[in-house]
Amino acid sequence: MSFITQIGFSPLMFAARKGGTEVVSLLLEAGANTNLQNKNGESALTIAAREGRTEVVALLVKAGANTDLQNKDGYSALMMAASSWSETKVVPLLVKAGAALDLQNKEGDSAVIIATVRYHLPVLKELARAGADLNLQNQEGLTALMISSRSGRTDLTKILLSGRNISLDILSVTGWSALFFAVDNGDVATTKLLLKARADPFLGGHGLTAMDIASANAPATDPAPTHSLFRTRSAEGRRHRAMHWLLSKHMKKPSKQKVSPAKSSQEPLEPLQSAESSQEHPQSAESSLEHPQSAESSQEHPQSAESSHELAESQESAATRLSQSLLK
């Protein structure tokens, strides 16, 4: 009863795929090996789970089938069930039988990630309730929350955010968080959900944050809705990195020709910014300390052509260094 055909199936595997409960019962009574695997690493249980054969899965589990055997691609019975739309009752059955919730396949995908990719809400809810790890990352560094945020499926995102110990600020291999993906898509609904859950808009890898993505995607004359959300959040007092980045990118380059002190005082070096952005981002006390040049001090110490040129070069150099550091 444990032989395998040339195409890699045992009689029990055939019966499990067809869903014949009577035949499966007879084979089990005759001593069929429940843990035999074919050339692809599939067992009768993984086949039954993939096909959504709930009654067959129940029989195999009762007979002592190993719930955690994985095929050559790393899929377990639970992961097969998570990817299948044929029957949703298989997942709770396997969970109750003690199946490992956090196994990962060769791509690093877990049952939670697979259910999210497949938009399988009932399965995702069951796994979250059972205590599956919602923060596991695949080989690309993606979590289920990143995938749901990228897809724009707020229903999936809500389930994940309601889970225990969900981490909002994990970064992918490319340095993106879940918030990055939502902002990059211009997805206001998901962005609001993540910000309400306290996702950090100032967190980022490779020198960029979700703030930077929002600013880069927002035209100066018509800011994107996600950018206005961040503008509100920046009132908490954290450094507005995106604004610094934009200023450094659009700083006017100083003229290399010497100018008179009078002309220099009339045409000071200024960043390119709209009147709206000037009102929304008034100069802070910190920036005043960095450039302590009041009108009174200008009158007392008139600036020479040489010092004006040096100041211009210093500002350009500082802007360049800031831009390079944020874009690394």
Does residue 172 lie within any of the structural domains? yes
| pLDDT at residue 260 is higher than 70 | no
Does residue 292 lie within any of the structural domains? no
Does one domain contain both 82 and 145? no
Give the total residue count for the chain.
328
| pLDDT at residue 13 is higher than 50 | yes
Does one domain contain both 74 and 164? no
| pLDDT at residue 308 is higher than 80 | no
pLDDT tens sequence across 137-184 = 999 999 999 999 999 999 999 999 999 889 999 999 988 899 989 888
Number of domains in the chain: 2
Last residue of a domain, one of 253, 285, 319: 253
Q: State the residue range of the domain holding 63.
A: 1-100
Mean pLDDT in residue range 104-119:
97
Mean pLDDT in residue range 208-215:
62
Does one domain contain both 146 and 247? yes
Does one domain contain both 144 and 210? yes
Query: In angstroms, what CA-CA distances link 253 with 152, 267, 292, 319?
Result: 41, 13, 21, 10
22 vs 276: which has the higher pLDDT: 22
Does one domain contain both 91 and 174? no
Last residue of a domain, one of 100, 120, 150: 100
Does one domain contain both 92 and 152? no
Beta-bridge partners for 104: 110
Does residue 163 lie within any of the structural domains? yes
Coil vs helix vs strand at 285: helix
pLDDT tens sequence across 72-102 = 999 999 999 999 887 779 999 999 999 999 9
As a whole number, the mean pLDDT across the chain is: 75
Does one domain contain both 94 and 151? no
pLDDT for the residue 187: 86
Does one domain contain both 160 and 80? no
Q: How far apart are CA 82 and CA 80, in angstroms?
A: 5
pLDDT for the residue 7: 59
Coil vs helix vs strand at 61: helix
Matching residue, tokens 């709770």 = 92
CATH of residue 20's domain is 1.25.40.20
The secondary element (H helix, E strand) that includes residue 241 is helix 241-249
| pLDDT at residue 10 is higher than 90 | yes
Does one domain contain both 76 and 175? no
Does one domain contain both 154 and 246? yes
Does residue 53 lie within any of the structural domains? yes
Last residue of a domain, one of 253, 278, 303: 253
